[in-house]
């Protein structure tokens, strides 16, 4: 079996740490470099339920998209949520490795997996990496549909294809507008509105769209439609892609790794109630 250090070398080739944003915290959080690795679990979030799943499934290595300690810490005490995760992993000899914005920018990366889940054909990055001579790395992806589809139909397709969440999928714009070119970005994407407009796409699918940026973006003449899905749902397809990538590495090296994708839903929202139909309101309180 390979050692953790061998696996980390392979992961750094798939998702180079140099591609990560300066503020990001990627790489190995815990684990003995000499430990033998046979089973690897992929997940979006390093929460306790996922750490418990790693232990229950006999994983030697947990690879997550989101960092455990993004802003640093002064304690790993077990009476804190994150400290409990660290204690659970170390006590059970489970290593933790993070691939975050380096996986976003990689080729293929998080947005390629999102496009694949939606049946979209990727034509290039939304924000190209200037250091990539092939022009394939970068944030987000510009995609094309094989056949024009209405906004309403594509929104319904996204709700069907992406993992189910309480939020579901919502959209701005004319439901009957035809879409042919769509930009996608896994995770929070409202910082990319300028790039989306410059790309000349018909719609932008991402997550965590806030009221004011979305409202202002939608008011611009000729603005693309916005499609807002749950953060976890837009990034979970990457886990499947990443597991497949590591499987290919394992096969080339004859490692015999067994890879798994977490079945734990870590989207934080657990319930949704649709708004009631609007009714006319009489300020006087009189019946109407």
Q: Report the pLDDT averaged over residues 168-197.
A: 96
Q: State pLDDT tens for residues 40-75.
A: 999 999 999 999 999 999 999 999 999 999 988 899
pLDDT higher than threshold 80 for residue 282 = no
DSSP label at residue 192: G
Summarised one tens digit per residue, pLDDT across range 75-116 is: 999 999 999 999 999 999 999 999 999 999 999 999 999 999
Return the percentage of the chain with pLDDT > 70, whole number: 97
Across the range 230-256, mean pLDDT stands at 98
Residue 89 near residue 62, CB atoms below 8 Å: yes
C-alpha dist (Å) from residue 82 to 45, 86, 202, 239, 285: 11, 6, 41, 21, 51
Q: How many CB atoms lie within 10 A of CB 185?
A: 25
Residue 12 confidence class, pLDDT cut points 50, 70, 90: very high
The number of C-alpha atoms within 13 Å of 218 and in the hemisphere containing its C-beta is 15
The model's pTM: 0.94
Distances (CA, A) of 68 to 84, 110, 114, 180: 11, 18, 23, 38
- Average pLDDT of the residues in 6-29: 97
The pLDDT assigned to 72 comes to 84
For each of the domains in the chain, give its residue range(s) and CATH number, in order of start.
2-101+234-259 (3.40.1390.30), 106-228 (3.40.1390.30)
């Amino acid at each position: 079996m390979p050692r953790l250090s061998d696996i980390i070398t392979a992961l750094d080739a798939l998702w180079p740490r140099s591609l990560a944003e300066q503020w990001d915290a990627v790489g190995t959080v815990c684990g003995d470099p000499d430990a033998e690795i046979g089973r690897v679990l992929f997940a979006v979030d390093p929460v306790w339920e996922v750490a418990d799943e790693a232990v229950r499934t006999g994983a030697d290595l947990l690879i997550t998209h989101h960092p455990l300690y993004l802003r640093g810490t002064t304690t790993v005490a077990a009476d804190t949520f994150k400290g409990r995760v660290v204690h659970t992993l170390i006590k059970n000899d489970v290593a933790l490795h993070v691939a975050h914005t380096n996986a976003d920018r990689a080729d293929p990366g998080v947005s390629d997996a999102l496009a694949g889940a939606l049946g979209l054909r990727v034509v290039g990055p939304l924000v190209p990496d200037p250091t990539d001579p092939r022009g394939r790395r970068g944030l987000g992806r510009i995609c094309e549909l094989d056949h024009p589809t209405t906004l309403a139909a594509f929104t319904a397709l996204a709700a069907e294809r992406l993992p189910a969440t309480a939020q579901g999928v919502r959209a701005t714009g004319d439901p009957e507008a035809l879409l042919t070119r769509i930009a996608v970005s896994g995770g929070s994407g409202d910082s990319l509105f300028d790039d989306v407009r410059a790309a000349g796409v018909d719609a932008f699918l991402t997550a965590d769209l806030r009221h004011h940026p979305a409202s202002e973006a939608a008011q611009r003449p000729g603005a693309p439609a916005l499609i807002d899905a749950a953060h976890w749902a837009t990034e979970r397809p990457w886990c499947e892609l990443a597991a497949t990538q590591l499987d290919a590495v394992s096969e080339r090296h004859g490692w015999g790794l067994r890879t798994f994708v977490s079945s734990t839903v870590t989207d934080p929202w657990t319930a949704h109630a649709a708004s009631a139909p609007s009714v006319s309101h009489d300020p006087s309180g009189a019946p109407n």
